[in-house]
Amino acid sequence: MRAFSLFSPPKVLADGERKKRRHMLARLGLAWLAMMQVMMFAFPGYLRGSPSSDDASLLDQAVFLMNWCSLALTVPVVLYCAWPVWSGALGRAQRAHLGMDVPVALGIVAAFIPSAMATWSGRGEVYFDSVTMFVAFLLTARYFELCARQAIGIGGLHRHLERYRRALAARADSIAAWFTAAQLLLALGAGAFWHAADPSRAVGVVVALLVISCPCAMAMSVPTAIAAAHARVLRRPDMDVAEVDALARATSRVSRQSLYGSMAWHLLMTPLAMLGWVQPWLAAITMLLSSLAVGANSWRLYRRDCLPAGDWPADAIQGA
Amino acid sequence: MDAALYLLLPISLVFALGIGVAFWWAIFAGQFDDTDTAAKSILGDDDGPRLD
């Protein structure tokens, strides 16, 4: 059994953790399923703006129908798949602490409510595709994080690395909180500006900014790097303390790279979104890309001088 | 054209719902819990000569 299997949980997992993993996988899969459907249903809506649509009434009818289908698919995504976001945001709000769930929840609400109203009235833009993409991509990042965390739980616990983890995680959390607060203020300001300048685009700009403000990639930077370090220790249990120290320094370097890299990426996208150049769905994709880049950076730490290049991992063959 | 839309869209919704339910069942029935043992059972087979 590999230390990291994305779909089958580790065998020694406690019941509660196993249930959490199953729920997370179900939420992730259903969100992706609904997302694919809703993205297809969104297509006629994008056609409507183009001048070449010669049969406008038929197109309007199709858009109307497909908006209702999208709404039917988006409601379960918002209520069931995004449940961890709601519970997290409510818990945070009670403790008056700004986590990453608050901007995510605001982003979902800001996109979903106007879309549902537009569907009901049959006029205006809908953002169901952005909502489902946002939820699906966010859950993908969180699922990877959960897998990484649960993989750490198995095997002898590696205290030496834990010490580094605490320091790194505390710093990453405080950076992410400041970052999120600044982004929220920016989103509000940009929303007010666009509402005065061009009200029809205000919702799109605010949704894109709220999507970008989600620090999911930043939240992934420390757990994935630490998980990669633990996986390396698991692979080579005979490491001495000096080697583990070197590994911990490498881990800290990689997680810092990921943290500042994803922050720079967000800061680069923010002005573009404020100018209205980034559609909400594009913002969701850039968010997924930065999360994947963080995951890949940590994976590099695990790969480096650990596996011979071009060779299968030994335990995949031996079933260790 | 209209009729096809009104027929096909609900059907696609029903299919998506069916896939979602099947996926849900597979997860909570434990279908993804162990993807390893069944695949490797053939390797642990007793390949010695038959004694009967």
Quote the pTM value.
0.77
Instruction: List the single residue in B with minimal CA-CA distance to A27.
Output: B24
Nearest residue in A to B3, CA atom: A62
Structure confidence at residue A52 (pLDDT): 63
A158: region left, alpha or beta (phi > 0 left; psi from -120 to 50 alpha): beta
Q: What is the pLDDT of residue A158?
A: 61
Taking 50 as the threshold, does the pLDDT of residue A312 lie above it?
A: no
- pLDDT score of A15: 82
* A63 CA: distance to closest CA in chain B (Å): 11
Chain A residues near residue B33 by CB distance under 8 angstroms: 8-9, 18
Say whether B36 and A8 touch across the interface (CB within 8 A): yes
| Nearest-by-Cβ selection for B1 from A5, A9, A58 | A58
Domain ranges of chain B: 1-28
| Cβ burial, residue A174 (10 Å; 0-12/13-18/19+) | exposed
pLDDT by residue (tens digit) across A184-226?
888 889 989 988 888 888 888 888 888 887 777 777 787 778 7
At residue A5, the pLDDT reads 66
Average the pLDDT over A242-267 and give the result.
85
Smallest CA–CA distance, residue B40 to chain A, in Å, is: 9
B52 to chain A, minimum CA–CA distance in Å? Answer: 32
* pLDDT at A152 (0 to 100): 65
> Could you tell me which of A283, A4, A311, A257 has the C-alpha nearest to residue A153?
A4
**pLDDT at residue A51, rounded to an integer:** 64
Cβ–Cβ gap A30/B23 under 8 Å: yes
Which pLDDT does position A74 carry in this prediction?
Answer: 94
SS (H, E, C) chain A: CCCCCCCCCCCCCCHHHHHHHHHHHHHHHHHHHHHHHHHHHCHHHHHCCCCCCCCHHHHHHHHHHHHHHHHHHHHHHHHHHCHHHHHHHHHHHHCCCCCCHHHHHHHHHHHHHHHHHHHHHCCCCCCHHHHHHHHHHHHHHHHHHHHHHHHHCCCCCCHHHHHHHHHHHHHHHHHHHHHHHHHHHHHHHHHHHHHHHCHHHHHHHHHHHHHHHCCHHHHHHHHHHHHHHHHHHHHCCCCCHHHHHHHHHHHHHHHHHHHHHHHHHHHHHHHHHHCCCCCHHHHHHHHHHHHHHHHHHHHHHHHCCCCCCCCCCHHHHHCC
Residue A23: what pLDDT? Answer: 92
Torsion over CA: B45, B49, B51, B52 (sign): positive
Give the integer Cα–Cα distance in Å for A245 and A249.
Answer: 6
For the stretch B8-41, pLDDT in tens is 888 989 999 999 999 999 999 888 877 777 778 8
Of B2, B27, B34, Cβ closest to residue A61? B2
Smallest CA–CA separation between A300 and chain B, in Å? Answer: 26
The Cα angle at residue A33 between residues A27 and A36, in degrees rounded to 5: 135
Q: Which of B1, B2, B32 sits opposite A25 (nearest CB)?
A: B32
Q: Are A280 and A204 in contact (CB under 8 A)?
A: yes
**What single DSSP character describes residue B1?**
-
Give the pLDDT of residue A252: 85
A12 interfacial to chain B (CB closer than 8 Å): no
CB contact under 8 A, A26 and B24: yes
Cβ of B12 and A5 within 8 Å?
no
ipTM, two decimals: 0.78
